[in-house]
Structure 1
Amino acid sequence: MSISSPPETGPLGLFLTAPPGLEEVLRAEAEGLGFAAPRSVPGGVETSGGWPEVWRANLMLRGATRVLVRIAEFRAMHLAQLDKRARKVDWGSVLKPGTPVKVEATCRKSKIYHDRAAAQRVETALAETAGAVPDKAAALTIRVRIEDDLVTLSVDSSGEALHKRGHKQAVGKAPIRETMAALFLRQCGYDGTEPVIDPMCGSGTFVIEAAEIAMGLLPGRSRGFAFEDLASFDAAAFAALKEVPAKAPPALTFRGSDRDQGAVASATQNAERAGVAAVTAFACHPAGALERPEGPAGLVMVNPPYGGRIGNRKLLFALYGGLGQVLRERFSGWRLGMVTNDGGLAKATGFDFAEVGPPIPHGGLSVKLYRTGVIR
């Protein structure tokens, strides 16, 4: 049985993970950044490239949750076969001796059905053939996927999930992840050339993400990645990749507000750490006090409370209704993008939403993006 693995100088199979339901949005982002023939599949996007493309995907993609790199693929019907074939993989071209690694396995519809036993076999193979050091707390993860007896071995090149940008320390209640926020902004047609307002901003995720896009800041600029511990890593080449031409600060202000003073303070601190304080502003007031800023129309992007997440559902109808009234009265020419798990609350805004997105898993719930056309 042959083992399929990428040649040393050939393309690697890359899998960009995404929240189910947002795969096509991530595919469009990857295509816009020039990744090779990206294709959306359940759970993410498939593409290919060399190790520099792995680095670039982690550094530049705003919507990907992780970047997995396929190292080998083969069939195995039992654990001894898995052990034998895992040892034939050229791990020396991937791992440096002494590298701490952890192995995680999933088995589905296969003769090998014991996840933990499969992980242990691959872990032993790594230790004995590549000098890897098994460590449950390691930043570098080898993922073993066995489906219909087909084994795929991948390296999680990201380490911590990519929504952890490295500059957001303060969070509010039920925060939306940066990666998901970026994909929702893209779905709403946002490209960095218009203002964004969030009247229930919490820790400021939508506002900060929008400002970063407008300023051309790389999402991974403030953090480290697991691939930095791999044998293929070239620190000088990666440093050069991070050097992008500076954009002039946009003549826009990205605004957030919240009735919770603590949330406003957190958002302000997060914006400072992200380097977007000059183009963001946060204020403490309820959504009903929202005023239209001077300048061009743009996008109101909001993730309001909903009964399954925060608060009593019955008390939220007035909140949604009030938001809809404020937007109709003061924000003609703007658009609304709203994330909620409750269609009844969305309807309470009084808007006939032009588009309603698919259900997206979020914090144990399932949310949808509700979008209006231009508010008249």
Structure 2
Amino acid sequence: MNTQTDLEIFLVTVPGLEPALKSEAVEKGFKKPVSAKGGVTVKGSWLDVWRANLDLRGASKVLVRLGTFRAMHLAQLDKRARRFPWQETLRNDIPVRIEVTCKKSKIYHQGAAKQRIETAITEELGAPISDDADLCIKVRIIEDLCTISLDTSGTGLHKRGHKEAVNKAPMRETLAALLLRQCQFTADEPVLDPMCGSGTFVIEAGEIAANLAPGRSRSFAFEQLASFDETRWEKLKEARAQTSQKPKSDIRFYGFDRDGGAIKISRANAERSGIDALCHFEKQAISHLTAPDGPTGLLIVNPPYGGRIGETKKLFPLYSALGKTLTDKFKGWRVAIITNNDALAKATDLPFKKSKTSFSHGGIRVTLFQTDPLT
């Protein structure tokens, strides 16, 4: 196994939520986290790469920078790509996929650059090239500097391996985890989502409370690398599994939705995650919503938001009714609402904090609005 300890590891996330991911990286013991646009850079070994994929809830991908070199023209790119130590990382029997981006460089033709990299790998290493390969090499040529990185995750890390069914406009698990962290969610308080869809917020909160590794049920691209050691990987997973725990006996996680199909989906997803005993899902309209017995906690909701003016206008009554219900029935609870429209948030008449968090969700710029405990 390659024991290199100073790898540059880039944890990818949604722009706007880098501070939350950096906080998680610090909490999980990753070294020298530094925020950058679209992610957080940490230093570590291949073991840290594995651990990041297994254990980080907020990262969308885990990339490793393999090296850099200057290339002013295609012939130079070809020569230096052939001298690159591919064999230290890649296997000659595993197909790879190449993605190239060129910006502000004398090499501007991405297709030609991609062809040169592919030829170098096939002729120097012997590895096959496939556009369908799980293993992806990302090449960025920016201002004539060629940076070669490896996607060690494969399928996006929001795919935990438990959610077989989703409702429309689903919230990704990685995004839900970061938003829970942004709301200062602690594992010893309940979480309630009154419009739960496929149950992402509720299930993510339950998994955090049970201290389960988010990547415990899936495979990763790094398992196909020359640096991979299956015995050490299995030991890492076993050690991590032993850290799971039972939350406090009175803490539960609640999801409600007026769509019975959504509730059925949520229950099935929670069962696959192994935390169905911690979660309570029930078909219920906002108008019938009441705070559950027991301690107060966090109510977080991602209500519908209109893409066009006419659609937005129709949502004002929903937001107003939601705000009134929460004001009347959720004293002591903190509230978090995700929406793309400040006017819709204002329609709830809730006492939101001045500080907000904006980010992209499904290509739409949205904002997380938060309150202190309601009085």
TM-score, scaled to structure 1: 0.96
Distance 1:248 1:285 in 2: 28
Q: Is the 8 A contact 1:99 1:131 kept in 2?
A: no
Residues 32-85 of structure 1, C-alpha deviation per residue, up to 9 Å, x if partnerless? 111011000111111111100000000101000100001111111111111111
Of 163, 167, 189, which residue of structure 2 is paired with 1:168?
A: 163
**1:188 paired residue number:** 183
Distance 2:371 2:3 in 1: 49
Deviation, structure 1 residue 359: 2.6
**What residue identity is the alignment partner of 2:86?**
W
1:117 matched to 2:116: no
Q: Is there any run of 5+ residues in structure 1 with no aligned partner, and where? A: 1-6
Q: Which runs of 4+ in 1 moved over 6 A?
A: none
**What residue identity is the alignment partner of 1:301?**
I
1:138 matched to 2:136: no
Q: Is the 8 A contact 2:5 2:46 kept in 1?
A: no
Q: What is the aligned-residue RMSD (CA, Å)?
A: 1.5
**2:259 paired residue number:** 260
Distance 1:196 1:125 in 2: 52
Deviation, structure 1 residue 310: 12
1:274 matched to 2:273: yes
Q: Is the 8 A contact 2:357 2:369 kept in 1?
A: no
| SS at structure 2 position matched to 1:92 | helix
| SS at structure 2 position matched to 1:27 | helix
Distance 2:39 2:74 in 1: 29
**2:68 paired residue number:** 73
Distance 1:356 1:132 in 2: 50
**What residue identity is the alignment partner of 1:43?**
G
Deviation, structure 1 residue 240: 1.4
Deviation, structure 1 residue 234: 0.9
Of 36, 41, 47, which residue of structure 1 is paired with 2:42?
A: 47
1:247 matched to 2:255: no
Q: What is the correspondence of 1:154-165 to structure 2 with a 5 Å cutoff?
A: 154-165=149-160
**2:352 paired residue number:** 353
| SS at structure 2 position matched to 1:262 | helix
1:219 matched to 2:214: yes
% same residue: 54
**How many residues are aligned here?**
370
Residues 348-373 of structure 1, C-alpha deviation per residue, up to 9 Å, x if partnerless? 11013114434311112111100011
Distance 1:355 1:165 in 2: 34
TM-score, scaled to structure 2: 0.96
Q: Is the 8 A contact 2:3 2:46 kept in 1?
A: no
1:296 matched to 2:291: no
Of 145, 149, 166, which residue of structure 2 is paired with 1:150?
A: 145
**What residue identity is the alignment partner of 1:199?**
P
**What residue identity is the alignment partner of 2:199?**
G
| SS at structure 2 position matched to 1:104 | strand
Residues 153-193 of structure 1, C-alpha deviation per residue, up to 9 Å, x if partnerless? 01100000111111101111111111111000000001211
1:313 matched to 2:312: yes
**What residue identity is the alignment partner of 1:92?**
Q
Distance 1:9 1:317 in 2: 56
Residues 311-347 of structure 1, C-alpha deviation per residue, up to 9 Å, x if partnerless? 9222211111111111111111110111111111101
Q: Is the 8 A contact 1:198 1:302 kept in 2?
A: yes
Deviation, structure 1 residue 238: 1.1
Deviation, structure 1 residue 288: 1.6
**What residue identity is the alignment partner of 2:346?**
K
Q: Is the 8 A contact 2:209 2:246 kept in 1?
A: no
Distance 2:355 2:289 in 1: 25
1:22 matched to 2:22: no
Q: Is there any run of 5+ residues in structure 2 with no aligned partner, and where? A: none
Q: Is the 8 A contact 1:356 1:369 kept in 2?
A: no
Distance 1:128 1:238 in 2: 31
Q: Is the 8 A contact 1:75 1:151 kept in 2?
A: yes
Distance 2:323 2:329 in 1: 10
Distance 1:233 1:331 in 2: 50
| SS at structure 1 position matched to 2:58 | coil
Distance 2:191 2:64 in 1: 35
| SS at structure 2 position matched to 1:337 | strand
Q: What is the correspondence of 1:314-329 to structure 2 with a 5 Å cutoff?
A: 314-329=313-328
Q: What is the correspondence of 1:74-93 to structure 2 with a 5 Å cutoff?
A: 74-93=69-88
Of 26, 29, 51, which residue of structure 2 is paired with 1:34?
A: 29
